[in-house]
Amino acid sequence: MTYTGRAVVAGSLGGPEVLRVVSRDVPDPGPGEVLVAVEAAGVNPWDWKSYAPASGATPPVELGVEVAGVVRAVGTGVRWFSPGDEVVAWPVRGGYADLVTVPQRVLVRRPASLPATAAAGLLAAGAAALHAVVATEVDADDVVLVHGASGGVGRMAVQLAVLRGAHVVATASPTWHACLARLGAVPVAHGPGLLDRVRAAAADLGEVVAAVDAVGTPEALETSVALVADRRRVATLVALDRAAALGIRALGHGPGADPGTDVRDAARGQLTALAADGSLDVLVTGAYALEDAATAHRRSRDGHAGGKLVLVTDAARASGDHAPVH
């Protein structure tokens, strides 16, 4: 059987203006594969970086690395999933779509308490954040600095560090400070004078012993290495090319970086369980139709979305299980 659905692709390299919605045929899933009817797809900075001129990618570029949806069909050898199961998947290729085919190993069941939109924004950012918290050995009573704490990755890192009993100093624009304080962090504005502000914020907490960078600016890197004595407890998820010179950890995919495959794979189940029982909150600040992917990408590229952006399909809108479409 062949299925038909829409997908968002970058027809050429460039900015969000190159995004198109196309119709495509999707075959039955092969051995070990699962066909997922997508309800929501998470938007991540990687998505717009993947078709930027500097990417060197060959168009058309399929987009979308994480989805929440419902199993539509399974291939031979799929044991743990059946049609109708509500699932979350990461990493996938081509998740900005009505239908996506994924290997069964990237799937986890979506708990009933977790809306599809939140689930779609959980795993890519959450796995990176968990990797950073594990790599920097965040533990109870540690004072930890998180740069980019209002973003998808940083907000997860704040919550995961607080769950470990750490004290968190969190950098973000003032708009998001009240929100970060509610998560248990001490918020600090980024910008000139950051080092002094972090020192003041941490004065009553103790020495800053670890730092997680989800921003990559010179200001974030320099503040981290000025404060944290043990540079193995400073990690960047962004400035991978500067890490070796600073003696800090580079996490992700790039020369000399630690991809953290094991910890990120294990994160699927851990993050889903934490989100299901309310220990981990995914703040969705924008939900857009597939046709409006360019708008979502413009907002993501601005870098101040204040949480997760997601795309929602007609399937999700029909179920009513989504945040308001902006």
The site for ligand NAP (CB under 6 A) is made up of 44-46, 125, 128, 148-154, 172-173, 176, 190, 214-215, 217, 237-238, 251-252, 300, 303-306
- Cβ distance to ligand NAP smaller for residue 52 or 276: 52
Q: Minimal distance in Å, beta carbon 74 to ligand NAP? A: 29
- Cβ distance to ligand NAP smaller for residue 104 or 300: 300
Q: What is the DSSP letter of 128?
A: H
N-term to C-term CA, the chain:
36
List the one residue out of 14, 12, 110 whose CA is nearest residue 70: 110
- Cβ distance to ligand NAP smaller for residue 101 or 223: 223
Q: Minimal distance in Å, beta carbon 3 to ligand NAP? A: 30
177 close to 160: Cβ distance less than 8 angstroms: no
Q: Minimal distance in Å, beta carbon 82 to ligand NAP? A: 31
Q: Minimal distance in Å, beta carbon 189 to ligand NAP? A: 8
- Cβ distance to ligand NAP smaller for residue 206 or 303: 303
Residue 126's alpha-carbon distances to 11, 202, 267, 271, in angstroms, are: 29, 25, 8, 7
If you write DSSP's letter for every residue of 35-80 in order, what string do you get? EEEEEEEEE-HHHHHTTSGGG---SSEE--S-EEEEEEEE-TT--S
Name the closest residue to ligand NAP (Cβ).
Answer: 151
- Cβ distance to ligand NAP smaller for residue 83 or 174: 174
Q: Minimal distance in Å, beta carbon 190 to ligand NAP? A: 4
Residue 93 CB coordination number (10 Å) = 12
